[in-house]
Copies of this chain bind each other. A is one copy, B any other.
Amino acid sequence: MKKILVLIPAEEPHKKKLEAAAPGCEFIYSSTQDATPEMVQEANVIIGLPKAADIQASGNLELLQLSSAGADSYIKPGVLGEKTILTNATGAYGKAVAEHAFALTMMLIKKLYLYRDEQKKRSWTDHGTVTSLSNATVVVVGLGDIGTTYARLVKAMGATVIGVKRRASIPPSCVDEIVLTEDLDQVLPRADIVMSVLPGTAETTHLFTLERFKMMKDSAYFVNVGRGSVVASDVLYQALSEHLITAAGVDVTDPEPLPADSPLWALDNLVITPHVSGWYHLRETLEGIVDIAAGNLARLMAGEEPENIVDFATGYKK
């Protein structure tokens, strides 16, 4: 009898769906915080985000179904044992994260962050002209589920969309042009908005160098809802304080939480949200995660290969 440890905030309908996918298994419901190392060690399947240090390459663990799209903590050497299959929740976050990135984009181009600051000073002050997505070229770096959903939103506002991907593919209808990651520097100078939704991997670490910010228009906006590690905090600080670009909005920082003494907090032209675009902040996200987890449980039971398997080399879904 397999032990299935569920660390997502499952409600009754979710529990029913999961249990129906693996009949006869023992389900233990807990949370990341409350799960003990023993519970993690004994589990044959974990759904959610156990503390990586508790796993210790457990030989019992057949499937770790993450509730996140990012897998950074679990692809490090020594965390998972040889026989553990690692799957992520790619597909569940598209809407929530893309809409958050889109809201940040609108807030930036309409200067609403400046007006919020003026409001705190009781100041009725006009900050001048704004731009429209309808005349904008938006470069979406990372064109998976989230990036494509974001592309669809900015395209609906009239933007020209350039997608940046690791592998060549035919653009979906919401994307005008696709370039490979190695050709990023060719499209950065054309961007009015650069939106990054890259995961945190060796390849993406510090991808946005100071040189790359210098390539961007000084009127450009940068949005990051992927992982904070794609840009070093001191580089982001320099890019914004020296006005290499106009402003940025980030839901992810390096490190997280951002330390209270980070100079980033005080930048007028940086909008920071505390990694809230995903998780369960949007109801549909949890539903999506349960669906993915239930599907993979059923596949495991049937001896089939689960979906959304993470490639340890890239940190992405294979």
A-to-B contact residues, CB < 8 Å: 95-96, 99-100, 102-104, 106-107, 109-113, 115-120, 122-134, 153, 156-157, 256-258, 260-262, 265-266, 271-274, 276, 280-284
Contacts and interface: CB of A to CB of B under 8 A. Distances in A.
Contacts of A111: 276
A134 B281 contact: no
B282 A122 contact: no
Q: Report how many copies the assembly holds.
A: 2
A115 B265 contact: no
A239 to B, nearest CB: 18
Contacts of A113: 116
Contacts of A283: 129
Contacts of A120: 117, 120, 265
Given A127-B276, A274-B126, A132 B265 contact: no
Contacts of A110: 99-100, 103
Question: A118, A134, A274: which has the most chain B beta carbons within 10 Å?
Answer: A274
Contacts of A107: 103, 106-107, 112
Given A129-B280, A260-B122, A276-B127, A112 B271 contact: yes
A127 to B, nearest CB: 7
A96 B283 CA distance: 32
The 8 closest A-B pairs by CB, nearest first: A124-B257, A156-B156, A103-B106, A103-B110, A124-B274, A122-B265, A115-B273, A122-B260
A302 to B, nearest CB: 33
Contacts of A133: 99
A117 B133 CA distance: 26
Given A103-B112, A116-B271, A124 B258 contact: yes
